[in-house]
């Protein structure tokens, strides 16, 4: 696949659908949304590709972690988004699997004056299921369940509120969000 292919075939409506899916996922943590239309180069999943096509632009510092920091992904993102690649400490968005995104402490969690100046991590996962960790908090009526790679890390992140990281979890064409306001407990 060349760096020129694999973006939305019909950009305006597909980007709008992907953006709505991303917003629904943030508004209802633990809800799994399906996104379609992106066919990025491996190892970037279609869901992560759609998120980046929708949310990244030339003013969005992006960190690629581990295997995601490769020529194919860099070329595709450069052509379609124009996002500058930066070290983890300066990233607004970062993408990779859980292991390659470690340690989380290197990403910006915001400041007391500007808690919104934090990073959003796009975590690529082998599977994403509505099972496992129990989620409560804003946007969740009683509780939701979601397969998470490390419950303790998400609990520690929530304890930083109003600071902290926000997360999208992606597997194939599916995504879920875990904002810093979500409380996480073992299933």
Q: Reply yes or no on whether the pLDDT at 3 is more than 60.
A: no
For 186, residues 6+ apart whose C-beta sits below 8 A from its C-beta are 133, 134, 151
Burial of 78 (0-12, 13-18, 19+ CB in 10 A): middle
Indicate if the pLDDT at residue 177 is higher than 50.
yes
Residue 2, helix vs strand vs coil: coil
pLDDT at site 187: 80
Model pLDDT for residues 121-159, shown as the tens digit of each residue: 999 999 999 999 999 999 999 999 999 999 999 999 999
Say if residues 101 and 62 touch (Cβ distance below 8 Å): no
Residue 1: band (very low, low, confident or very high) from pLDDT cuts 50, 70, 90: very low
d(CA 126, CA 26): 21
Q: Is the per-residue pLDDT at 5 higher than 80?
A: no
Confidence tier at 6 by pLDDT (50, 70, 90): confident
pLDDT tens per residue, range 43-62: 999 999 999 999 999 999 99
* DSSP element (H, E) containing 72: helix 71-80
pLDDT, tens digit (0-9, with 9 covering 90-100), for 90-114: 999 999 999 999 999 999 999 999 9
Say which residue, 180 or 37, is predicted with more confidence: 180
Give the separation between CA 69 and CA 77, rounded to whole angstroms: 11
* pLDDT, tens digit (0-9, with 9 covering 90-100), for 9-40: 788 888 899 999 999 999 999 999 999 888 99
């Amino acid at each position: 696949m060349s760096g020129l292919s694999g973006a939305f075939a019909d950009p305006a409506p597909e980007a709008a659908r992907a953006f709505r899916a991303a917003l629904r996922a943030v508004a209802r943590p633990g809800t799994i949304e399906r996104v379609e239309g992106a066919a990025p180069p491996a190892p970037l999943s279609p869901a992560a590709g759609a998120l980046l096509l929708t949310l990244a632009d030339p003013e969005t510092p992006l960190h690629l972690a581990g295997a995601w920091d490769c020529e194919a992904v860099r070329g595709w993102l450069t052509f379609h988004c124009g996002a500058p690649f930066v070290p983890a400490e300066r990233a607004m968005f970062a993408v990779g699997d859980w292991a390659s995104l470690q340690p989380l402490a290197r990403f910006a969690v915001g400041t007391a004056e500007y808690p919104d100046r934090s990073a959003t991590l796009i975590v690529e996962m082998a599977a994403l299921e509505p099972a496992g960790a129990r989620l409560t908090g804003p946007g969740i009526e009683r509780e939701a369940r979601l397969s998470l790679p490390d419950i303790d890390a998400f609990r520690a992140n929530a304890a930083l509120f109003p600071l902290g990281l926000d997360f999208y979890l992606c597997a194939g064409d599916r995504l879920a969000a875990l904002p810093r306001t979500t409380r996480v407990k073992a299933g």
